[in-house]
Structure 1
Amino acid sequence: MTLDSFEDILLQFVGSNILLIVLAVFLVIALLMAVRIVPQSEKFVVERFGKLHSVLSPGFNVIVPILDRVAHRISILERQLPTMTQDAITSDNVLVQVDTSVFYRIIEPEKTVYRIRDVDGAIATTVAGIVRSEIGRMELDQVQSNRSSLIEATKQQLANQVDDWGIEVTRAEILDVNLDEATRAAMLQQLNAERARRAQVTEAEGLKRSVELKADGELYAAEQAAKARKVQAEAEAYATSVVADAINAHGLEAAQYQVALKQVESLNKLGEGNGSQTIVVPANALEAFGNAFKMLGGRSS
C-alpha cells in the first residue's frame, strides 16, 4: 500500500465520521463547562439568562452549560475594614475623634452582589453614624470608662442594619478616643485637682482614725483600771467580812491573835534581812511582842 492510498482511506474515514468527532468534542467541552469545583474559602453565584439561579457551595458542583454561567466568585473569608476616624460630640459638648475598626464576612453572597455595590464604603458610613449617635448620648467620662458598652452597642446596631446585605459582623472595635489639646489640658488640670482633694481627704480620714484609736485606747485603759479597783475593793471587802465573821464567832481574842501573828511575821522578816541580826526596838514594843508570844503560846496549847 502506497502513501497516497493510505491518505485516501484516512480521508474517507474522517469524512464519514466527522459528525461523530464533532459531537465527541462538544460533549467533552460541555462536560468541562458543567463541572465546577468551588474552593473552601469561596462561593459562586450562578446566573441563568442574566438572572440569579443558584449559589454554589464549596466542593463539587454541576451546572447546565451555555444556560448557566458563574457570574460572581465571592470570598467568604473574614475581612477587616481599614481603621476609620470620625468626629463626634458628647452630650457635654466635647469634640472627640474616634478610631474604629470592623471585622465582617459575607454569608449570603446573593444578597451582597445584588443589593449593595460598595460593601466596605457602606459599612464605614453606617459605623460612623452609629458611633456619632451613641457618643452623643454619653458624657466624656462615660465614653472613657464605658468603652465596652459602646463597642457592644455599635456592634449590635451595625449587625441589624447590614443584615439585608448578607453580611455577618464578627467584631466592632473602638480603638481610641482622642481629644484636642485644650480639652486634654483641662482634663489633666481637673485630674490633678481631684488627686489633691483625695489626698487631703485621705489625710483627714487618717487623722480622724488616729484620734479615734487614741480615744478608744484611753477609754479601754480607764475601763481596765476601774475593773482593777473594783476587784481590789471587792477583795478588801471580802477580807473585812472574813475578819468581822471571825470576831463575831470567836470574840476579841481572835482579833488579838491575828494582830499578834502579824507582829511576829514582821519581826521574822526584819531578822531575815542582810545585816539585820541585831534589832533595836522600843521597850513598849518588846512588851507587845511578849504579849503576842504569850497569846500564840496559849493558842498553840
Structure 2
Amino acid sequence: MSQNILLLILCATVVFAFLSVKRIPEGTVYTLRRFNGQARTLQSGTHWVWPLLERVVHRISLTGHVLPLDELFPLATGSARLSGKIFWQVIDAARADALIDRADELIRARALNATRAIDNPAEEVGDQRNSRLKSVLNESLRELGIVVTRVQVSLA
C-alpha cells in the first residue's frame, strides 16, 4: 500500500512540474492573472507558473494586425463608403492588456471620428487622408500601448 501512495505522489509531482512550465513563442506575450486579481506579463521564452493559482488571460501577438474597414460614411452631399485596411501592432503589452479584446472596435471608432472631424473629407487626397489618419490614430493610441503602422483607406 505504501508503494502505491509513493507512486501516486511521484506521478502527481511530475504532472504538477509539467503543468508549471510555460513555453511562450517568439513575438508573443502572455498575461497571467491570479485569483486575487494580480496580473503579470510573460515575454517569450520558458517560464515557471503556478498552474492552480495563475491562468493565461490573453495571448498578445506583438506582430502586426490588420483591421479591415468597410463603413458607410455620411457626407453633406449624400453618403460614401470608407473602405480599406488599417495595420497596427502592440508596442507595450502591459498597457494594451486592458483593451486588447476590443482593440479593433476602438481603432475603427477612432478612425471614423477622425474622418468625421474634417469638413469635407471627399475633397481630401487619398495619401493625405491616410497620413492624417495615421498620425491622429497614433496620437490617441500610443498611450494605450498600440501603434498604427500603415493606413490604406479610400472614400468612394
Give the TM-score normalised by structure 1.
0.45
Q: Aligned letter for 1:84?
A: D
Does residue 133 of structure 1 match 2:111? no
Q: What secondary structure does 1:120 align onto?
A: helix
SS in 1 for 2:52: coil
Bigger relative contact order (CA 8 A; separation at least 6)? 2
Corresponding residue for 1:70? 56
- 2:132 matched to 1:153? yes
Distance 2:141 2:77 in 1: 30
Q: 1:39 Cα deviation (Å)?
A: 1.4
1:85 touches 1:100 (CA, 8 Å); kept in 2?
A: no
Equivalence map 1:1-301=2 (5 Å)? 15-87=1-73, 89=75, 94-95=77-78, 97=80, 98-115=82-99, 117-134=101-118, 136=119, 140=123, 143-144=124-125, 147-174=126-153, 176-178=154-156
Quick check: 1:116–1:165 contact (8 Å CA) kept in 2? no
Distance of aligned partners of 1:132 and 1:75 in 2 relative to their CA distance in 1, 3 Å threshold: same
In structure 1, the residue corresponding to 2:26 is in which secondary structure?
coil
> Residues 68 and 83 of structure 2 are in contact (CA less than 8 Å); yes or no, is this contact kept in structure 1?
no
Match of 1:191 in 2: none
1-structure distance, mates of 2:93, 2:72: 29
Mapped to 2, the partners of 1:172 and 1:139 lie a distance apart of 17
1-structure distance, mates of 2:99, 2:122: 37
1:100–1:131 Cα change, 3 Å: farther
Identity %: 21
Q: Indicate the RMSD between aligned Cα atoms, in angstroms.
A: 2.5
SS at match of 2:50: coil
By percentage of residues, which structure has more helix? 1
CA change 1:52–1:112 in 2 (3 A) is farther
Give, in angstroms, the shift of residue 170 of structure 1: 1.0
Deviation at 1:96, TM superposition (A): 6.0
Per-residue CA deviations over 1:241-265 (Å, capped at 9, x if unaligned) read xxxxxxxxxxxxxxxxxxxxxxxxx
Equivalent AA in structure 2 for residue 119 of structure 1: A
Listed as ranges, the gaps of 5+ residues in structure 2 are none
Q: Which structure is higher in strand share?
A: 2
Structure 1: runs of 5 or more not aligned: 1-14, 179-301
Instruction: Sort the Cα spacing of 1:107 and 1:152 in 2 relative to 1 into closer, same or farther, 3 A.
Output: same
Deviation string, structure 1 residues 75-122 (Cα, Å, up to 9, x no partner): 333111113234254xxx555623342011223344434236422122
**Deviation readout 1:193-237 (Å, 9 max, x if unpaired):** xxxxxxxxxxxxxxxxxxxxxxxxxxxxxxxxxxxxxxxxxxxxx
Deviation at 1:66, TM superposition (A): 1.8
- Give the SS at the match of 2:136: helix
Deviation at 1:49, TM superposition (A): 1.4
* Mapped contact 1:84–1:124 kept (Cα < 8 A): no
Q: Is the 8 A contact 1:45 1:52 kept in 2?
A: no
